[in-house]
Chains A and B, each alone.
Chain A
Amino acid sequence: MSESIDLGLRILDHQLLDKDGRRCGNVDDLAIEGGPGESAEVVAILVGPDVWRGRAGWIGRAAAWVAGGRRVRVPWSEVAEVSAHVQLKKTAPEYGLGRLDDRLRPYLEKIPGANR
């Protein structure tokens, strides 16, 4: 079973969801292996502000600097499903995704009503 898709339109910049449907980043870029004369294949999804550096000139670099440059590489073999979103096979922390949310949570939880 195979399907023809356009990467820029259907995958790039789309929402990443982990196994439990948690939003854990966007597809900031795709890593492709194989050059001219060889077969080429998408091998990984690149996630994180560090990836923005290469995507919008100085304004992208500025945004990456502001957001703090991290980069996470998720192998394409970890993709469970491509629909309107891209769903992964495991939970976000197993890929190092959504770390900032996880780090912030304990602080917010100190305030009453944070888990209403």
Chain B
Amino acid sequence: MRTLSSLLRRQVVTEGGRKLGRCYDIRAELTQTSLKVTGLCVGRQGWAEHFGLPRLGHIRGHDPVPWEAVVSIEGDRIVVRDIQ
């Protein structure tokens, strides 16, 4: 078992070593009975908007990195497949 807080603020990198930024939130799908994790919100862009600040210019956040792409969680890093 792991906790939500242990995933937040970790560095997200691809298998190829490309840094995607820090994981600032976890996206999930809420139904009547369950709450399934679907992705990682990553990177600096969109961070301000995420926390409710008015958007500056035309910077939009990335779509979240899908949970299926996660390869391993080790140390303070989350490694994901190169799909982008």
Q: B37 touching A9 by the CB < 8 A rule?
A: no
Contact of A2 among B1, B31, B51 (CB under 8 A): B31
When distances are taken between beta carbons in the complex, the residues of chain B under 8 Å from A4 are: 27-30, 38
CB distance from A28 to the nearest CB of B (A): 9
Contact of A8 among B26, B36, B67, B72 (CB under 8 A): B26
B interface size (C-beta, 8 A): 31
Q: B35 touching A76 by the CB < 8 A rule?
A: yes
Interface string of B1-38 (1 = CB under 8 A from A): 11111111000000000000000111111111111111
**Also in contact, A46 and B28, with CB within 8 A (given A9-B50, A34-B37, A41-B35):** no
Whether A39 sits at the interface, judged by CB under 8 Å, is yes
Whether A62 sits at the interface, judged by CB under 8 Å, is no
CB distance from B56 to the nearest CB of A (A): 19
When distances are taken between beta carbons in the complex, the residues of chain B under 8 Å from A5 are: 27-30
CB distance from A9 to the nearest CB of B (A): 6
Other A-B pairs beyond A2-B30, A12-B4, A40-B36, 12, CB < 8 Å? A3-B29, A3-B30, A4-B38, A5-B27, A6-B25, A6-B28, A9-B25, A31-B3, A32-B1, A39-B37, A42-B37, A76-B34
**Cross-chain pairs A/B with CB under 8 angstroms, 29 sampled:** A1-B32, A4-B28, A4-B29, A6-B25, A6-B41, A7-B26, A7-B28, A8-B4, A9-B50, A9-B51, A29-B4, A31-B2, A32-B1, A32-B4, A32-B7, A32-B37, A33-B1, A35-B73, A36-B73, A39-B67, A40-B37, A41-B34, A41-B37, A42-B4, A42-B35, A42-B36, A46-B3, A76-B35, A77-B33
